[in-house]
Amino acid sequence: MTKVLFLDIDGVVLPGRAYMLPNQTKGVVTVFDPCAVSMINKACEKQDRKIVLHTSWIRTGFWRIGVDGPGDVHEHCIAQGINPNLFHEDAYCNRDIHWRYDRVAEWLARHPEVTDFCIVDDEPDPDDRFVGHLINTDFDEGITMKNFRRLLDGTAPVKRGY
């Protein structure tokens, strides 16, 4: 049985409140909220989940996958405290697919061994394809204790946008 957590960055581990951190970078905000990172790590460790990045960061020219840009998203996540052992061996959704939930669907189609997954994202799923799998966060707050508890007990909301 393979369990996966699809992780967005902005609005989850890099919420609006993290813009206020004293060591925050200028121009492009990149310093993650350490409490949010800890919650993601703990949830994945407790549930034996592997992380797959479906964030829009994988689509921008600022970040790279492999060697084709100035900074690797996976490596940056590790530098910000996400446990490197928690990443799935196929840690990225397809960056050539524009819409995030289409990227998740395509990744899942390539990985039929995944029997359990959740998505943590601040963007709602307008098509409700992932009802019961999606935990929506608030961009300004990021992952909260309420979201964390839902991750742990498997009670992802049944309605979009909550």
Where residue 31 falls (left for φ over 0; alpha for ψ -120 to 50; beta otherwise) is: beta
Question: How far from chain centre, in Å, is Cα 143?
Answer: 10
The DSSP string of 100-155 is: HHHHHHHHHHH-TTEEEEEEEESS--TT-TTTTTEEEPBTTTBS-HHHHHHHHHT-
Contact 33, 14 (CB under 8 A): yes
In a structure prediction context, what are the per-residue pLDDT tens digits for the chain, which is 162 residues long? 689 999 999 999 999 998 888 877 766 678 899 999 999 999 999 999 999 999 887 766 555 544 444 467 888 899 899 999 999 999 988 888 889 999 999 999 999 999 899 999 999 998 889 988 999 999 999 999 999 999 998 765 443 332
Q: Which pLDDT score is estimated for 76?
A: 85
Strand (E) or helix (H) holding 90: strand 87-92
- Tell me what pLDDT residue 142 has: 95
- HSE toward the beta carbon, residue 69, CA cutoff 13 A: 16
Q: How many CA atoms lie within 13 A of 116 on its CB side?
A: 13
Predicted model pTM: 0.88
Q: Tell me the C-alpha distance between 41 and 51, whole Å.
A: 9
